[in-house]
Amino acid sequence: MVFRKPPDGGWGWVIVLVSFFTQFLCYGSPLAVGVLYLEWLDAFGEGKGKTAWVGSLANGIGLLASPVCSICVSSFGARPVAIFSGFMVAGGLMMSSFAPNIYFLYVSYGIVVGLGCGLLYTATVTITCQYFDKRRGLALGLISTGSSVGLFIYAALQRELIELYGLDGCLLIVGALSLNILACGSLMRPLESSGSPPSEKTCVDKVPDQYFVYHEKGKTVEENISILEKGYVDEKCVNNVPDCKQDSILNKNVLSSINVNEKDTYKKKVVEQTNFCKQLAKRKWQLYLTYWKETVVLFKNKVFSALFVAILLFDIGGFPPSLLMEDVARSANINEDDYYMPLISIIGIMTTVGKLILGILADFKWVNTLYLYVTTLLMTGVALFAIPFAKSYLTLAMLSGILGFLTGNWSIFPYVTTKTVGIEKLTHAYGILMFFAGLGNSLGPPIVGWFYDWTQEYDTAFYFSGFCVLLGGFLLLLAALPCWNACTNQGSKLPPNTYSYKVASS
């Protein structure tokens, strides 16, 4: 398949539009799952930690399965994967409306919807990168806001639907809305050269099956030769009956003379195929060894190792507010009449603002993206420590806005990864980091919920979350300090193909 040069426009803007709506439709409900979380607590009567697994799986399973998602998009293309994933998301949401217990939701909402979202994210990013080169950053920035806008709108929409139609009706309607992903996916036209006529069948394809000596691999050479002899004799007998016996005798003499040659040829082909399989297995094994060697080299980079710890701890501590903030307000006995806007909606809209502003700041030459990222981590930790002291809707709304803005640091995380390992190893390093980010997303809310089940209050849980984020931020800051890099460079030389982050601004 031959791809054309990215047009950086044209139909590419249609791709951006449908990718935006795809992320809006698929991530709207999972990111705003905090509204459903309250209903599931009341409906099933399970603990907060056990119930929080539903939302954490829906948001983390896509990142955990990112290698599988990439293979699917590479093998089948963005359009088929998007259409298939649309059925997964819609079907998972609709099945969740019939959930008899919390364990059913783990599969229907957590795994099915979460995996569908992961496939759709990979498909939208891949098709957008194919259509854009010079404006790729702008295009990816536009489609990434779809999930944040979905969080803002779905938080209020799901609450209104629950009041009107109940929890089951809400999930059915949201699942029906997700079927619009099929229309968006059908517009993801692959960027490939058209007009190439399909190749005609070769002469070998037109030969009858009885003339293939090696047609049936399971048979021996003698059996294949007998099949050839039988097919030749049958055809001659049909065409010319008087000469049938004479041709049969002649054919046996000819075949007996080439019997030895056919055996040698067959054995030679078997040996060649065996050698080919051995070489292929050896090559695959070498690729696996190379992959693990490159992974070890990446972790020898102290900044990358600190970044891996920081992203894991950040998602363990920083993701739970987007899922549990509504329950925090209810636990603080805040009157529902004081609600002007769902707290999750505030987080969603401020995440969009944070992605845009932090992304713009990262483009300035005088801004060090690593220090900027560390600053967002430290500020997130302080905001998490302040949640137990918030006893009114206004203070919780302010903290939700701050946390949402700081969560927008996802837009500068690729910048930080590139500066840490280099553009050559970005794909490898980013895949590892996203796996651990998904692990943090999956573990964070259940851990906070378990703390509540043990202590019957959220204070200890958010102290723990703030400590995790602050620890990750301080470790990353220490690894990036100029004095640390100077000591490291004097003590020993860096291994080949490793990159040291230069903290001096451009």
Q: What is the pLDDT of residues 384-412, one digit of tens each?
A: 999 988 888 889 999 999 999 998 888 77
Same domain assignment for residues 307 and 188: no
Do the beta carbons of residue 49 and residue 449 sit within 8 Å? yes
Q: What is the CATH number of the domain that holds 138?
A: 1.20.1250.20
Question: Is residue 294 in a domain?
Answer: no
118-171 per-position pLDDT tens digit: 899 888 888 887 887 777 767 777 888 888 888 889 988 998 999 999 999 999
Same domain assignment for residues 307 and 187: no
Which residue, among 361, 340, 343, has the nearest Cα to 409 in the 3D structure?
A: 361
Same domain assignment for residues 329 and 450: yes
**Domain count along the chain:** 2
Do the beta carbons of residue 161 and residue 65 sit within 8 Å? no
Same domain assignment for residues 18 and 150: yes
Same domain assignment for residues 169 and 308: no
Same domain assignment for residues 25 and 157: yes
Write down which residue in 193, 226, 249 finishes a domain. 193
Write down which residue in 168, 193, 218 finishes a domain. 193
Question: Is residue 239 in a domain?
Answer: no
Give the orientation angle of helix 320-331 with respect to helix 459-480, to 10 degrees. 150
pLDDT band at 488 (very low <50, low <70, confident <90, very high): very low
Supply φ then ψ for residue 377, to 5 degrees: -65, -45
Helix (H, G, I), strand (E, B) or coil at 217: coil
* pLDDT of 179 over the 90 cut: yes
Question: Is residue 149 in a domain?
Answer: yes
454-473 per-position pLDDT tens digit: 888 888 889 999 999 999 99
- What DSSP element (H or E) covers 166? helix 136-178
- What DSSP element (H or E) covers 318? helix 302-318
What is the rounded average pLDDT of the residues 250-278?
Answer: 61
Q: Which domain holds residue 410?
A: 301-486
If DSSP states are collapsed to H, E and C, what string results for 288-308? HHHHHHHHHHHHHCHHHHHHH
Question: Is residue 470 in a domain?
Answer: yes
Lowest model confidence (mean pLDDT) among 27-31, 89-93, 212-216, 434-438: 212-216
Q: What pLDDT does residue 429 have?
A: 76
pTM of full prediction above 0.95: no
* pLDDT of 494 over the 70 cut: no
Helix (H, G, I), strand (E, B) or coil at 159: helix
Of 473 and 421, the one with more pLDDT = 473
Write down which residue in 162, 193, 224 finishes a domain. 193
Q: What pLDDT does residue 376 have?
A: 93
Question: Is residue 377 in a domain?
Answer: yes
Do the beta carbons of residue 14 and residue 137 sit within 8 Å? no
Question: Is residue 181 in a domain?
Answer: yes
Question: Is residue 140 in a domain?
Answer: yes
Q: How far apart are CA 411 and CA 373, in angstroms?
A: 10
Q: What pLDDT does residue 233 have?
A: 45
Which residue, among 67, 116, 80, 71, has the nearest Cα to 190 in the 3D structure?
A: 80
Question: Is residue 366 in a domain?
Answer: yes
Q: How far apart are CA 450 and CA 456, in angstroms?
A: 9
Q: What pLDDT does residue 226 have?
A: 52
Instruction: Give how far Cα 319 sits from Cα of 297, 315, 316, 322, 384, Å.
Output: 30, 5, 6, 6, 11
